[in-house]
A and B are shown apart, each in its own frame.
Chain A
Amino acid sequence: METKFINESGFQDFVGKLVESRNLVGPVAKRNKFVFGEINKYEDLRLDYDVTLLPPKKLFFPPKQDILKFYGQKGESCIDPDPQILLGVHFYDIKAIDMTDLLFRENNEDYNYLANRECTTIIGSNIQNVHDRAFFGSVGTEVEPKGHDGFLTKIEGGYVFEIITAKAKELLQFGDFQDANENQIKQAEKVNAEVLTKCSEKLNNTSAEINKKVRNSFDSKIWEKTAEDCFSCGSCNIVCPTCYCFDVQDDWYLDQETGVRARSWDGCLKEDFSEVSLGQGSIENFRETRGSRYRHRIMRKATYLNEKLGGPACVGCGRCSSVCTSDIADPVNVINQIMEE
Chain B
Amino acid sequence: MSCENCNCSSQANHENIFMPQEAKIIKTKMSTASEKRFWVKWADGSQAKFQPGQFLEVSLFGYGEIPIGYASSPTFKDNFEIVIRAVGRVSNALHKLQKGDSIFLRGPLGNGFPMKSLKNNDVLVVAGGIGYCPTRSLVNYILDKRDEFGEFTLFYGARSPKDRMFNNDFERFKKMDGVNVLETVDKGDESWKGNVGVITTLFHKTDKINKNTRVIICGPPIMYKFVIAETDKLGIPHSNVYVDLERRMKCGIGKCGHCQINDKYVCMDGPVFKYSELEDREEAF
Contact = CB atoms under 8 A, between A and B. Distances in A.
Any A–B CB pair closer than 8 Å: yes
Interface of A: 22, 67-68, 70, 72-73, 75, 77-83, 103-104, 106-112, 114-115, 118-121, 166-167, 170, 218-219, 244-252, 259, 261, 263, 266, 268, 273-280, 284, 286-287, 292, 296, 299-300, 303-305
B17 to A, nearest CB: 5
Contact of A111 (B1, B3, B14): B14
B162 to A, nearest CB: 13
Nearest to A104: B255
A250 B61 contact: yes
A250 B15 contact: no
Interface of B: 1, 3-9, 11, 14-20, 22, 34, 59, 61-65, 85-88, 102, 104, 130, 220-221, 246-248, 250-251, 253-258, 260-263, 268, 282-283
Nearest 4 CB-CB pairs, A to B? A245-B257, A118-B8, A304-B263, A111-B14
A121 B22 CA distance: 37
Given A259-B62, A304-B262, A75 B20 contact: yes
A246 B5 CA distance: 30
Residue among B62, B130, B251, B257 with most chain A CB within 10 A: B257
Given A118-B9, A299-B262, A279 B248 contact: no
A107 B19 contact: no
A172 to B, nearest CB: 14
Contacts of A284: 220-221
Given A68-B16, A68-B18, A81 B257 contact: no
Contacts, number: 155
A73 B248 CA distance: 25
Nearest to A113: B255
Determine the main DSSP class of A at the interface with B. mixed
Contacts of B6: 83, 118-121, 167
A250 B90 CA distance: 10
Contacts of A81: 1, 3, 8, 11
A292 B256 CA distance: 19
24 contacts: A68-B18, A70-B62, A73-B22, A75-B19, A75-B61, A80-B1, A107-B253, A110-B253, A110-B255, A111-B15, A119-B8, A245-B256, A246-B255, A246-B257, A248-B65, A250-B63, A250-B64, A252-B62, A259-B62, A263-B250, A268-B260, A279-B85, A280-B87, A286-B221
Residue among B18, B34, B59 with most chain A CB within 10 A: B18
B16 A79 contact: yes
Contacts of A305: 263
Contacts of B251: 246, 248
A261 B262 contact: no
A120 B221 CA distance: 44
Contacts of B130: 279
B68 to A, nearest CB: 13
B281 to A, nearest CB: 10
Contact of A166 (B4, B7, B14, B256): B7
Given A119-B8, A250-B63, A276-B247, A107 B254 contact: yes
B102 A246 contact: no
A103 B260 CA distance: 14
Given A250-B64, A273-B248, A299-B263, 20 more contacts: A72-B61, A75-B19, A77-B19, A82-B1, A83-B1, A109-B15, A109-B17, A110-B17, A111-B15, A219-B282, A245-B257, A246-B255, A246-B257, A248-B64, A248-B251, A249-B64, A251-B62, A280-B34, A303-B263, A305-B263
Nearest to A106: B254
Contact of A246 (B17, B256, B282): B256
A335 B220 CA distance: 35
A170 B251 CA distance: 38
Contacts of B1: 80-83
Nearest to A69: B61
Contacts of B62: 70, 250-252, 259
A104 B8 CA distance: 16
B72 to A, nearest CB: 22
B253 A108 contact: yes
B16 A77 contact: yes
A103 B3 CA distance: 24
A111 B19 CA distance: 11
